[in-house]
Amino acid sequence: MLNGDNQSDTIGAVELFKIMSDPLRLRILMLIHDELALSVGDLTKALQVSQPKVSRHLALLRDSGVLHDQREGVWIFYHFPPDLPLWIRHIFDTVRNGQPALINQEKIRLSAIKNRKKPQSINSIIE
């Protein structure tokens, strides 16, 4: 029930915790958890790290199935897949609720970005 319909395609707990063990990847996941979808540019500004470094981590998260990407013109937004198993969503909720200060500075930097590009099809991302 908590694994979703496609259990064979589901990332395992060991792989998920290995992914989350990297502080940068964990902060990326928590930011996307809060914002629903973020671009590489927004992540580099919020995290204050280089674009190639963020892109490498996003590629790993995408290849593992934890994130999906969606192109809108020149922008690529990263978000959780709609079929992400419930147990993984619960873990993300628990981490975010248990460590609310984990991304405080990053959230402040995100809110300071003027004219931030948001995905036009946000409803298709969260459904």
Which stretch of DSSP H or E encloses residue 68? Answer: strand 68-72
Nearest to 24 by CA among 7, 42, 48: 48
- pLDDT tens track for 40-56: 999 999 999 999 999 99
| Whether the predicted pLDDT of 70 surpasses 80 | yes
Kindly state the tokens that stand for 74: 């020149």
The model carries a pTM of 0.87
Lowest-pLDDT choice from 6-15, 26-35, 102-111: 6-15
CATH 1.10.10.10 holds for 7-111:
yes
Residue 73: which pLDDT band, with cuts at 50, 70 and 90? confident
Q: Reduce the DSSP state of residue 12 to 3 states and report it.
A: coil
CA distances from 7 to 3, 11, 29, 48 (A): 6, 8, 21, 36
